Structure formats: C-alpha cells, structure tokens
Amino acid sequence: GAHYTSEKNIQKVIKPLFLDDLSREFEKIKGNRNKLLEFQKKIANLYFLDPACGCGNFLIITYRELRDLEILVLQELNKTGQLVTDISAIIQVDVNQFAGIEYDEFAVRVAEVAMWLIDHQMNIKVSNTFGQYFLRLPLKKAAKIVNGNALRIDWEEVISKEKLNFILGNPPFVGAMIINEQQRNDMAYVFDGEKGIGVLDYVCAWYIKAAQIIQGNRIRVSFVSTNSISQGEQVALLWNILFQKYQLKIHFAHRTFKWSNEAKGNAAVHCVIIGFGSFNITNKILFDYEDIQGESLVVQSNNINPYLVDGSDIIIYNRSFPLSNIPLMRFGSMPRDGGNFILTEPEKEEFLKLEPKAEKWIRPYTGAQEFINGYSRYCLWLLDISPRDLKTLPEVIKKVDKVKNFRLKSKAASTRKFAATPTLFCQIAQPETNYLLVPRVSSERRKYIPIGFMNKNVIGNDQVLLIPNANLYLFGILTSEMHMAWVKYVCGRLKSDYRYSKDIVYNNFPFPENITDKQKQTVETCAQAVLDTRGKYPDSSLADLYDPLTMPPDLLKAHQKLDKAVDLCYRPQPFTSELNRIEYLFELYEKLTAPLLSTSKQKTTKRKNPQ
C-alpha cells in the first residue's frame, strides 16, 4: 500500500469506476440550474474507501477530481450570475467523504496530511477561479484514515456500507510463493476454511473482503492487481468463490499492462485492473493493450470473464486427461540427488578419466535451461545396472553413497524414503521412445515457446514436460500462434515468464475438430519446414533463434505459414487479433466441455481428432 502509484495508473482505476460516468452526466445537464444543483449534491454525497491506502494517492487524486468537477458545476451556475456572494457557503465536496485503511503508521500520518494539503490547494483554486478568498480554517472535517490490518478489520467500522459508494486501491503485490507467515494467517482468516488457498497471491484476500461488503447493494469496486489473479490455477480458486458464493460481475477491466510507480526503484510489474460489483451492468468495457507498455484500446464487451476476455464466465480447472484425442503429457524425471548424478561437459571428461568404464551409464541430460540455451549436461543413469557391474565402478559408488546421504538428511519424508534406492532418480518418467519436449518455464518475450523432438537417450528432467509418441501434427499445433494465445491467457506465470502446465494448459486446450486429411497434411508440412529452418542454424541456440531481436526472417516466415495452416484447421475466416483468437478458443472449449458437465467425474470427450 505504501508504494507510490503514478497518477496515470490511478486514472485507469477511477475513470471507468465513476469519473467517466459523472463527466458524461455533467455534460448532459449543463444549462439546467436545478439539475446542476442536484448533481452537486450528489457528488458531495459520494463516499470512497481505499482499504490499502498507503500514503493516500488514490484518495488524493479522487478528491481532486471531485473538487474539479464541483468547480465546473459552479462555473456553469455562475454563467447566469446566480451564484451567492459568499462562495464558502456553496462548496459542498469535502475530505470527510474519504476513508482509508493502512498498516504502516507513518504512511497513515502522511495520508492524513496529504488530504488536508490537497484540500488547501483546491481551496486556492476556488479562490482564483471565482475571485473570492476561500479558506477552510479551522479544519473541521478530515478523511478517516485508520491504522490497522485491512484483512482483520471490519471495513464497516471504518465506513458504513449504507454510506459507501466506491472501494478502490492498489493492495500489496505479494506473490503466493513469498507470502510470510502473518500474511498466510491473514489469508486463512479471510478465506475462512476454503481449501487450496496456498496458491493464491495476497491481493486475493482484498477481493474476498470487498465481495463481502458489497453484497446486496450498489457499491462498486476497482483494484490494481498483479495479472496472476487472471491466469493459471489462481483463476479456478479465486473466481469460483467470487462467482458462486458472492455472485460478482466484472464491469470493466484493463488487461495486462506494465505498471510502474513514481517512487525510487520503480517497480515494473505486469498488472491488471478489475472493476466489479454484485450486480450486472450493460455496457462493460475492456481496455486491451497490444503493447503492454503502450496505450490501451477500448473494447465494448457483453461479458467479461475471469481471464479478462469477452466471453462466458468459464473457469478452467486442472484436468487429469486431455480434452481432445492427443497423447498424454508427463513431467520429466526428478533426480533429488543433491547434484551428485549431474555432470557438466568438463566434469564428465574428468569423471571418465577416473572411471572410464562408466561411459555406458552416462546419458545426455536436459532441462528447460539446457534445451533453450543449447548447453550440454549429463547424468549418471543407473536404471538397469546390476550389483556386479556397480561393484566394478568405485567412483560411481562414491556418488551413489553421496546421493543416499543427501536423501537421508532431507526434511521431506518422501525424499528420505528414496534413500533406499540411491542408484535411481526419485521420479523416473523417461519415455522408451523419442519424445516431444516442452519447457515448463519460458520467457514471455518470445512469440513462440521453443519446443522440440528429443532422442529417447536424452534424459529430460523435471523442468520439462515430455510427450511420448508425439507426431508432427501435434508439434505444429503446440508451436502455433493459436496455442500461444491459449498459453498467454490460461497458464500461470513465474514473474512474467510462461509457466506451462500439463493439467491446465495442455489437457484443456481445444484442438481443432473434424479436420480433413489435407488440413492435417498441410500442418505437418509446415511443421517440418519450421524444424528444417531451425536446422540451418546449427550454431544458434533456441534462445537466439526465438529472441524477437535475433529470430532469422526465414524461421519467422516458416512459423507464419504454420500459423496460417493451424488457423485454417479451426475456421476459414482469419483471426484479426489475439483477443479474437482467445475468444474463439474459449467458445470452443465451452462447446467441448458441455457434454462433460453433466457427469460428476472428469472424462475425456469422444475422441475425434485424427492422429
């Protein structure tokens, strides 16, 4: 709360929340004295709460905007020369319409003083505008800024919901992975027995608190949040509660943009802004960003779902098996060996000087980093080694002993259990056939996640996902713009990087239905062309080939041809934007899952996809 939000980002919250509506209303009633007086009374009776107010930025800017609007009203009334001589008698908007909650005591004091300062500045503006000296002294009214934990305080003790009109602000950005014990306890308190909340960011608790206070009234809310609450596994948990238990409706949303503040250190976070209420409205607005650092494009929407897309309120849950008829995806193998089985290229050479007979037990080893950045690592793979063979390899036995000791010292009972089989990786998932490799984490800068076919001798670790029995058609679909649109919206993020998930992204992806042999063949031909073009650059890593700045033009062209071939498997009309694609995919997902909703168990649908 105490970090300083830029005015530009505050405007993104307050304009669609209430200011745009008030400005439009004012434009309509210009020249109508009675309506102007009513309007002034209305804005002087609007009450605001920022439940994570920091130094008061949101409250200050909102107050200034309301005072500016009141000045415009008074200027309109003054045109007829009908203003009373004493201007102080007719200024109605005041600081006591504003309330805040803030954990940091120093920030609370700053916010209180800042509200009086902005009040003083606005009074000077009134004096200058109307040529009359206007000062509110002594200070009779004040904003109510409460020092405390917003997740433990009853917000109605700060401001009654009968009075309250708008809740707004920028609750703390604390990701699920870095929440401290007190914050975890706060969340448990707010979520009150809900299961699985460990995956949720701290900000989610503010959504629940707001949802509780807005039940059965017309209070509207808008929060700035990290975009993770509209992606990946957080959606299924948070929005299921908000929709089912609290019947929330999203009124407007700014889709992902780069948030920066005006303080030192300027935090660069990928954010969304979500405006909502417990009632529906007709004119919903999406603010879309083609460039997350650029300006927004306004899109009128019929309905805004939790992924901040114009479409039904669908929520994508973890699915154990694929929705479409495609091969199963699995995690790679997990060593949990304390690094003892893993060797770099120089380490391998040194080890083989000591233990030349170990060569047949050493295999290439890859995770996401090795695969994308093109460097080699190796591992000892002792899956079928006999005790007799092992006895002839004293240096290998030393490593096995270290693995055993590492596992025995582990705090995790599951790891200690594997000390009984110290020659093996803890989880073994290596396919017996060649396979398709998908990195679990990949940079969001890339237009396509680099994926590729691997030889069965290359051991894939738990930082990659493996698809045995994959074919060119599957490769083509997964490396297409269509699949990337799905990835962007549905997968979670690690910072802003894509965190590809088997159960959410892959198993739920709506593959094209009823495609012809010719369509499939075109995808395969284009997919092979992508692989062939990559092959022209044997000295370049996938990181270099897929960096937007260094991607070879012929590789980009090969991908664009593949994109077009995949698009045509879905429909003949071209897709005009990423938003257009994801809306289509959500509709298709809804259609494919409809037959499943009647059954309590999750099953795969009738398999239609040709392989």
What confidence category does residue 139 fall into, taking pLDDT thresholds of 50, 70 and 90? low
Stretch (H or E) spanning 538 = none
Mean pLDDT to the nearest integer, 325-338: 95
In this model, does residue 604 exceed pLDDT 60? no
Mean pLDDT to the nearest integer, 292-315: 90
- pLDDT score, position 47: 98
pLDDT tens-digit map of 417-439:
999 999 999 999 999 999 999 99
Q: How many residues does the chain have?
A: 611
The two structure tokens encoding residue 28:
């309509």
Please give the Cα distance from 195 to 237 (Å, whole number). Answer: 9
Lowest mean pLDDT among 219-223, 293-297, 486-490: 293-297
What confidence category does residue 136 fall into, taking pLDDT thresholds of 50, 70 and 90? low
Mean pLDDT to the nearest integer, 211-217: 96
- pLDDT score, position 296: 83
In this model, does residue 201 exceed pLDDT 60? yes
In this model, does residue 265 exceed pLDDT 60? no
What confidence category does residue 454 fall into, taking pLDDT thresholds of 50, 70 and 90? very high
What confidence category does residue 460 fall into, taking pLDDT thresholds of 50, 70 and 90? very high
- pLDDT score, position 491: 84
Beta-sheet pairing, 342-344 with 377-380: antiparallel
- pLDDT score, position 263: 52
Percent of the chain having pLDDT more than 70? 92
Lowest mean pLDDT among 94-98, 128-132, 515-519: 128-132
What confidence category does residue 52 fall into, taking pLDDT thresholds of 50, 70 and 90? very high
What confidence category does residue 2 fall into, taking pLDDT thresholds of 50, 70 and 90? very low
What confidence category does residue 495 fall into, taking pLDDT thresholds of 50, 70 and 90? low
Average pLDDT, the chain: 90
Domain segments of the chain as ranges: 7-170, 330-597
Mean pLDDT to the nearest integer, 99-117: 93
- pLDDT score, position 406: 96
- pLDDT score, position 497: 73
In this model, does residue 394 exceed pLDDT 80? yes
Phi/psi class of residue 417: alpha, beta or left (left: φ > 0; alpha: ψ in -120 to 50)?
alpha
Please give the Cα distance from 331 to 501 (Å, whole number). Answer: 10
Lowest mean pLDDT among 102-106, 321-325, 384-388, 600-604: 600-604
Phi/psi class of residue 514: alpha, beta or left (left: φ > 0; alpha: ψ in -120 to 50)?
left
Name the residue with higher pLDDT: 380 or 2: 380
- Helix H, strand E, coil C: the string for 235-303 is HHHHHHHHHHCCCCEEEEEEEEEEECECCCCCCCEEEEEEEEECCCCCCEEEEECCCCCCCCEEEEECC
In this model, does residue 23 exceed pLDDT 70? yes
Distance linking the first and last C-alpha atoms of the chain: 52
- Tokens 């009359």 found at: 132
What confidence category does residue 174 fall into, taking pLDDT thresholds of 50, 70 and 90? confident
Residues with Cβ within 8 Å of residue 610, at least 6 apart in sequence? 515, 517, 520
Residues with Cβ within 8 Å of residue 542, at least 6 apart in sequence? 371, 372, 373, 374, 450, 452, 534
Mean pLDDT to the nearest integer, 260-275: 71
- Tokens 């396979």 found at: 435
Stretch (H or E) spanning 545 = helix 542-545
The 10 Å CB-count burial string (b at 16+, else e) for 391-406 is: eebeebeebbebbbeb
What confidence category does residue 138 fall into, taking pLDDT thresholds of 50, 70 and 90? low
Phi/psi class of residue 294: alpha, beta or left (left: φ > 0; alpha: ψ in -120 to 50)?
beta
Lowest mean pLDDT among 86-90, 441-445, 511-515: 86-90
- pLDDT score, position 256: 84
- Given a contact cutoff of 8 angstroms between Cβ atoms, the answer to whether 258 and 495 are in contact is no
The two structure tokens encoding residue 531:
């692989």
Rg (CA), the chain: 30
Please give the Cα distance from 120 to 123 (Å, whole number). Answer: 5
- Given a contact cutoff of 8 angstroms between Cβ atoms, the answer to whether 123 and 154 are in contact is no
